[in-house]
Amino acid sequence: MLKPILLVEDNASDLELTLIALERTQLANEVIVVRDGVEALDYLMRRGEHAERIAGNPAVLLLDLKLPRLDGLEVLKAVRESEELRSVPVVMLTSSREEPDLERAYALGVNAYVVKPVEFKEFVSAISDLGLFWAVLNEPPPGSARLKRRN
């Protein structure tokens, strides 16, 4: 089974555009959508309503910066502090071009920081490239196989 892509996005328009872009890439990976930072950590740490989900980390975490309850930088910090989650690729997908946000994200260990393009065509292209790279082309760390087989 392919690892899913975890998309953390609270803006309905950006969520719809991102899902369209990922669909156009024709990735076989399931896209799991959560709407805020607390739910993202609940999913990743298998707690709350996600306590019963199948074990395993996503292929990539596409993380918005400005989120309700817990922002993207706080989620990133928690992911990088967790032994089990540390190797999950995290792409900050945001409209913020603020230098302090960019600096803080890299200081906390983000793998990539992508500013959402305003033009639809550019946005679709950027998301398609991200999905293809992180879910298909990127080689995961040893011990975190791309395919999970059930015995």
Q: What is the pLDDT of residues 23-55, one digit of tens each?
A: 887 778 899 999 999 999 999 999 999 999 999
What domain count does the chain have? 1
Does residue 149 lie in a domain region? Answer: no
Does residue 150 lie in a domain region? Answer: no
What does the buried/exposed string (b/e) look like for 2-17 if buried means 16 or more CB atoms within 10 Å of the residue's CB? ebbbbbbbbeeebbeb
Residue 141 pLDDT level (bands cut at 50, 70, 90): low
Does residue 151 lie in a domain region? Answer: no
CATH code of the domain containing 66: 3.40.50.2300
pLDDT at site 83: 95
Does residue 148 lie in a domain region? Answer: no
**99, 94, 131, 90: which is closest to 114 by C-alpha?**
94
User: Which range marks the domain in which residue 133 is found?
Assistant: 5-137
Does residue 103 lie in a domain region? Answer: yes
